[in-house]
Chain A
Amino acid sequence: MVNLAGNSLLPTIPAIIVGSIIIGIVGVVFGLLFRGVDRKLVAHMQGRIGPPIVQPFRDVRKLLVKETIVPDDALSWLFNAAPLICLVTTIVLLLYIPLFGQKALLDGFGDSILILYLLIVPSLAFVAGGFASSSPYATVGAQREMVIMMSYEFSLALVIVAIARCIVPVTNAHAFMLSTVAAYPIWNLMGPIGVVGALVLLFALLVVTPGEVSKVPFDIAEAETEIAGGILVEYSGRNLALFYLADVTKAFVMISLVVALFFPYNLSAVIGISAGIPAAIVDALFFLVKVFLTMFVSVILVRTAMARFKISQASYVYLIAMTLISLVGLILIGVDLRM
C-alpha cells in the first residue's frame, strides 16, 4: 500500500491508529470549546450573560445519562446507527485536514476531492436519521436538509477546483492535496485580478459554511420554532449526545477546511522561531486564533444578525446566487492566469 506521494504505508499503521484516536479526542474537545465560546459571544452581543464556556461539556454529560428512547414506529437499526455514523465520519474528516499548523495525519492519502465527498456523509447520516424517526416533523426536516445539501455542493466544488487551478502551473506536486495548498497559498500566486477572484471565492465559501454547519440563516433543517426540532425531534439521550458531538466537530472541521484552503500560513516562520516544540506551540495557537476569527465572521456574527431563511430562499441563495458568484471567481482567476 503506497500513498500518493509514493511512501509505503505499512510501518506507520500503529502510528495512524494512535494518531486517529488522539486527533478524534482533540477535535471533539476543541469543537465543544469553540461552541461554548460561540454561545458566550452571541449572548453578549444580545445583551445577556450567556452560559459559561464549558457548558457544552456539561450538556453532553447530561445527555449521556438520560434515557435513550426509540419510537415504536421508527426503523430502530437506522435510528441508532445514524448518530454513530455521523460522528465517526466527521472524525475521519479530521484526519485529512491540516490542523494546528501541522500536516494532516493521513496527508498524502486523501486530497480535497476526497474531503468534498466525505463532507456529504455526515449530512446523509443526519438525513437518514431524520427519515428513520417516524415523525412528520423529522420527515420535513430531512427533506429540507437534502435540498440544502444539494444546493451548496456546486459552489463548494467550484471553490476547491479554482484553488487547485491556481496551483497547477506552479508546481508538479498533486494540486488538490491540502499540503500543497499550504505550501503555495493562493494569495501569493495571483495578480490583482486573481486576488479579487480569490476574495470572491472566499466570500462564497464563507456563505456555504453556515449551511454546512446548520446555523442561522441556514438552520432550516432543525428549525426550532417551525418544526419543533426537525430531524432531531425524536432523538434523546445517547443518540442525541452523539449527534451533538458530531455537530460541534463538524463546525470545527469546516472552519479548519476554510483556514486550510485560504489561510494556511504559519506564524513561526514569520516571526523567526525555528522548528521544534516552541514553533509547534506557536503554530497551534495561531491556528486557533485563525479558526476563531473565521468562525466569528462566518458563523457567530451571521447567526446573531440575521433571521432564518425559508427553504425556497435558502436554495435560491445557494443554487443560483452562490453558484454564479463562484463562477465569477473562477473566471477571474482564469483570466489572471492567462496574463
Chain B
Amino acid sequence: MDETKTRYTIPVGPIHPALKEPIRLDLEVDGELIVDVDVIVGQVHRGIEWLGMNRNNPIQNIYLSERVCGICNICHPFAYVMAVEQAMGITPPERAEYIRVIIAEMERIHSHLLWAGVAAHEIGFDTVFYLVWRFREEIMDLIEYLTGNRVTKAMFQIGGVRRDIAEEQFPRIRKSLDYYKSIFDQLKTVFLDDRTIRMRTRNVGILKTEDALRLLAVGPTGRASGVPKDVRQDQPYGGYADLDVKAITPDLLTGAVVGDVYDRIIVRLLEVKQSVEIIEQCLEEMPPGPILAEPKIAKLLNALTKAEGEGIGRAEAPRGEVVHYVRLEAGRETLSNWKIRAPTYVNLMSIPTMLKGGQIADVPIAFASIDPCMSCTNRAVVVDLRTTKHSLLTGEELHQLSVEKTRKLKGGEFGRQ
C-alpha cells in the first residue's frame, strides 16, 4: 500500500448502472488497471428462510421460494418441492415430472436470453439488447399462455404440478419452438460473429480451468472454463432421468476452451438450443396420467403437518446448481429447518480472480458474465467468511439467527462443499 498516490478505490455499487441488483465491489485501481477486488454482499437480505421456518406452512413456502428471484423463478420451487417430497416420502406422477422439465427448460431459455440482452447493454450495444429482448417476448407469451403469468409461474405443488399441459396447447408450444429454431442463426450472427462484441469479450474476464475447479464455479460459468459438470447430467432429477442431457462446453463450437466472456456467451446460446430440443423431446414422449400425487390440498396440508424427515433437492438453475435443504417435524405446521444455497453465491468467489489485471471498462461485462443474481445470493449466509464486515448485513436479530443456523448446519450442507 505504499503507492497510495497512484492507486485509488472505485466503489461499484450497491447502486450502479452496471449492476442489476445491489452488491458492492470495491475496486482498487492504478489508472485503468485493476489491482484488487473486494466483494461485499448482503444488501438484499430479506429473511426468507426465517419466514419459511416461523410463519408459513410448506405449501405457502412454495410461493415464497418462487419469489427468491424473479428470473430464476422455477428452479427454486423445483428444488424446494423435491426436498419436501423426499422428506415426506411421496413421489410425483410421471406426467408431472415431464411437465416440470418443460417449464424448467422454458425458464432456462428466457433467463439466458435476458442475460444476453443485459450483457449487450453492459458493453454499450443497446441495439442488440432490444433485439434479443424482442426475441424473448415469444417465450414470455408462451409462458403466460401455459401458466397464467409471465413471471411467478406458480406451477409447482408438493407431489406434482398445478396445471396440466393439454394436447390442445401443444401446437402453440410447437409454434414458439419453431420460431426459436428459425432465429437461432440470427442470434449467432448478432452475437458470435459481431466484431465489436468479439473485441470486448475475447480474453476478458478469463477463468482458467484450474481456477474454476478450485473456486467451485458452477453452471455456465464453470462449463465455459471447461468443467463439464451439470446436475441434469450427473444426478438427473425429475424427468431428466429419461432424457439424455450432456453438459455443454465451448469446445463444441470453437474447439478450444479459453474461459473468457466470449466462451460464456457460446455456452449460454448453445444451452438455449439444447433447451428447445429437450422441450420437443418431452412433448413427444409425454406419458398420460394424473398430475398430482395428492389432488386434495387440504389432505396434503394435514399430511405435511404429520410428516417427519429431511430432504435435499438439487436442481440446475440457469445459473448453476441450486440446493434446498428441508427438515420436517411431526406436529409442526411450519418447516423445522430450511436452507437455500444459490449458485451465484459460489460463482461470486471467482470474481476477484476474473477481474484482477483487467481494466475498469471490463468490470461490468466480466461481472455480468457470471450472470449474478444477488436476490438468490442474499439467501446465503456470509458471516463466517467475512466476520469483520457483519455490520453491513441488515437486521441484528436476523443476523444472530443466521449465525446460529450456520453452526447447526455446518456438519451437513456446508461440509459437502
**A contact residues vs B (CB 8 Å cutoff):** 45-48, 136-137, 139-140, 143, 216-217, 219-220, 223-229, 304-313
Contact = CB atoms under 8 A, between A and B. Distances in A.
A13 to B, nearest CB: 47
Contact of A223 (B9, B124, B127, B128): B124
Contacts of A45: 127
A136 B8 contact: yes
B10 A307 contact: no
Contacts of B127: 45-46, 304-305
B130 to A, nearest CB: 4
A223 B361 contact: yes
B19 to A, nearest CB: 9
Contacts of A229: 17
Interface stretch (B144-152, B154-162, B196-204, B245-253): B196-204
A307 B200 contact: yes
A310 B130 contact: no
Contact of B361 (A46, A143, A226, A228): A226
Interface size for chain B: under 10, 10 to 19, 20 to 34, or 35 or more residues?
20 to 34
Contacts of A220: 361
A143 B130 CA distance: 31
A217 B362 contact: no
Interface in B124-142: 124-128, 130-131, 134
B359 A48 contact: no
Nearest to A219: B124
Nearest to A229: B17
A47 B124 contact: no
Given A136-B9, A140-B32, A312-B32, 13 more contacts: A46-B126, A48-B130, A143-B31, A143-B32, A224-B124, A226-B18, A226-B361, A307-B120, A307-B125, A308-B124, A310-B359, A311-B32, A313-B199
A45 to B, nearest CB: 7
Contact of B364 (A216, A217, A225): A225
**Max count, chain A CB within 10 A of own CB: residue among B11, B130, B134:** B130
Contacts of B364: 225-226
A164 to B, nearest CB: 34
B16 interface: yes
B360 interface: yes
A226 B10 contact: no
A184 B18 CA distance: 50
A312 B359 CA distance: 9
5 tightest A-B CB contacts, nearest first: A308-B124, A307-B125, A307-B196, A310-B361, A46-B130
Contacts of B199: 307, 309-310, 313
A310 B124 contact: no
Nearest to A227: B360
B196 A309 contact: yes
Interface string B2-40: 000000111100001110000000000101100000000
